């Protein structure tokens, strides 16, 4: 089974801090994704990557950046955390035209 692991289940950070959310997958997949999930809005794509050092903006990239130095690791970076970035963050890897595999999610609270 594919395993996608996010480094933290819960995080509390202060406004203005730089925040790193880490995601590791063990199946050598090329495509990796970061979504945020908010009530009533479903899942919104922040960034995705289809290869090492490659990244593409999703639907809501503002305030975020990503890093993909190794195939198995895809990091989401909040350059200067703000309260409106309080959310659930979900990492996923997807095989072409097949299912996605998700991490357990990181619930981030910015105070």
Indicate the pairing of strand 10-13 with strand 106-110: parallel
Q: Is 61 in the site for another protein (CB under 8 A)?
A: no
CB of 95 to another protein, least distance (A): 8
Binds another protein (CB under 8 A): choice among 14, 83, 84, 96? 96
Is the Cβ of residue 54 or residue 111 nearer to another protein in the bound state?
Answer: 54
**Measured distance CA(47)–CA(111) in Å, rounded:** 24
User: Is residue 41 within 8 Å of residue 27, measured between CB atoms?
Assistant: no
Q: Is 108 in the site for another protein (CB under 8 A)?
A: no
Is the Cβ of residue 62 or residue 96 nearer to another protein in the bound state?
Answer: 96
Residues sharing a CB contact under 8 Å with residue 61, sequence separation 6 or more, in sequence order:
46, 47
3-state DSSP assignment of residue 65: strand
- Give the residues lining the site for another protein (CB under 8 A): 4, 6, 31, 33, 35, 37, 40-43, 45, 48, 50, 56, 58, 90, 92, 94, 96-100, 102-105
């Amino acid at each position: 089974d594919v395993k996608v692991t996010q480094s933290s289940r819960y995080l509390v950070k202060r406004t203005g801090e730089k925040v790193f959310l880490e995601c590791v997958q063990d199946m050598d997949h090329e495509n990796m994704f970061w979504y945020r999930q908010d009530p009533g809005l479903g899942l919104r794509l922040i960034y995705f990557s289809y290869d090492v050092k490659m990244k593409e903006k999703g639907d809501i990239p503002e305030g975020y950046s990503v890093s993909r130095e190794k195939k198995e690791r895809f990091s989401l970076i909040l350059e200067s955390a703000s309260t409106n970035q309080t959310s659930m963050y979900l990492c996923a890897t997807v095989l072409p035209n097949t299912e996605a595999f998700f991490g357990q999610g990181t619930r981030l609270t910015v105070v």
